[in-house]
Amino acid sequence: MILVLGILIALAIILILQPWKRRDCRWRQDARKLADGRVLFTCTACGAELALPKGREPTSCLAGDR
């Protein structure tokens, strides 16, 4: 019974943290600016591209969202 409980807790932790989504993204601000004033960021690790309003920076990797 304790073993089952332990497995359930481990599963819950894995589902909450989602470690497969945590990749080390190295976001770099792209020199190209978009027409509507947003800034384009590109990840040098996985190649993801993200357009954000000026002054904001991407926090997570998008590699797992594809």
Residues in the site for Zn ion, rule: CB under 5 A? Answer: 25, 43, 45-46, 48, 61, 63
Shortest approach of Zn ion to residue 58 CB, angstroms? 9
CB of residue 56 vs Zn ion: minimum separation in angstroms?
17
Give the C-alpha separation, 3 to 33, whole Å: 54
Q: Which two tokens stand for residue 53?
A: 């309003």
Of 8 and 57, which has the nearer Cβ to Zn ion?
Answer: 57
- Alpha carbon distance 56, 12 (integer Å): 31
Q: What residue type is 51 in one-letter code?
A: A
Residue 16: CB minimum distance to Zn ion, A:
21
